[in-house]
Amino acid sequence: MDSALTTVGLPVALGIIMFGLGLSLTVDDFRDVQRHPRAVVVALACQLLLLPALCFGLVLLLDLPPLLAVGMMLLAASPGGTSANLYSHIFRGDVALNVSLTALNSIVAIVTLPLITNLSIAYFGLSDSVDLQFRKAVEVFVVVLGPVVLGMLVRSRRQDFAARMDRPVRIASAVILFVLVMGVLIDQRDNAMDYLAQVGLVTALFCIASLAVGFFVPRAFGVTDRQAIASSFEIGVHNATLAIYVAVEVLDSVEMSVPGAVYGLIMFILAALWGLLLTRWILPSGTRVAAGPVETGSAGGTEPAPPRHRAN
């Protein structure tokens, strides 16, 4: 991949995306976790425990080469992407829960992403060539959380600006991800078709499984349908840009970024189809036609939503 794209483009791209996330967050979003602890705990358990185990099973079942296998595990360890909030909004999920999960997940991933990636590197015998050391973990921490904190500070002082920038930043995030995906595939053009053949199926299966786990597991634990929708997109729409960044910038392996790039291509389509499936066939008719902002409590009941000052 072109050096300018890796040394400048990737950090800037990730910074813009995480800054956009910060523009949609307030300190109250972290306090909101106390309002629906069951949904948060179940969603985080799915994200941190079930998905890495599921992804590990898939890469072993499909016998991926070590570098691509680690790339898949890196993708599984990445938190939800900013597009998760948008999908949740479109398909009538609990966006307040979604934003809180995104915020919390981004912080937790600072610890879990290096841990899962290092375990994967060791398991697949790559410890002599690449390693996610403490210094690099701190670098990821700064690149991920620095722009988020900056975005939150801007929102706290200029709520009107944050509201105006919400849609442009979301669009820019999608465009940036597309450019990164194309950059990875062009860089690997000699092997692109082989990589697509190797990881196309596993990334599609992983995306579908992530969306389904994110919906059905929380629902089985008694959360409301709107909370389950939010959990589904938070868990199923991973931050592919972060996965690509860590693979290329931190681990110095473009090949490891291929699963994230392929996932970035198919995720938008699969998530949209899943949202249509949820709202038209899976959920009861009362949920499908429910309109208006309704917040849900931790016990699974429903109550009128308090006024919220957030750009959705």
CA 207 – CA 181 distance, rounded (Å): 16
Give the pLDDT band (50/70/90) at residue 32: low
pLDDT at res. 7 = 54
pLDDT higher than 90, residue 145: no
Percentage of the chain beyond pLDDT 90 is 26
List, for residues 38-81, the tens digit of each pLDDT value: 889 999 999 999 999 999 999 999 999 999 999 999 999 988 87
Give the pLDDT band (50/70/90) at residue 30: low
Q: Give the residue carrying structure tokens 């038209």.
A: 280
Most confident of 110-119, 183-192, 282-291, 298-307: 110-119
pLDDT higher than 70, residue 138: no
Mean pLDDT of the chain: 78
Percentage of the chain beyond pLDDT 70 is 75
Question: Is residue 211 a contact partner of residue 270, using CB atoms and an 8 Å limit?
Answer: yes
142 token code pair: 């700064």
DSSP state of 305: P
Please name which of 41, 126, 47, 119 lies closest in space to residue 81, comparing C-alpha atoms: 47
Residue 134 or residue 218, greater confidence = 218
Q: Worst-scoring range by mean pLDDT, 3-7, 76-80, 101-105? A: 3-7
Domain boundaries defined on the chain? 3-279
Residue 241 bridge partners (DSSP): none
- The topology (CATH level 3) of 3-279 is Na+/H+ antiporter like fold (1.20.1530)
Residue 158 or residue 2, greater confidence = 158
80 token code pair: 């939800």
pLDDT at res. 111 = 80
pLDDT higher than 60, residue 282: yes
Burial class, 119, CB count within 10 angstroms (exposed 0-12 / middle 13-18 / buried 19+): middle
CA 4 – CA 35 distance, rounded (Å): 45
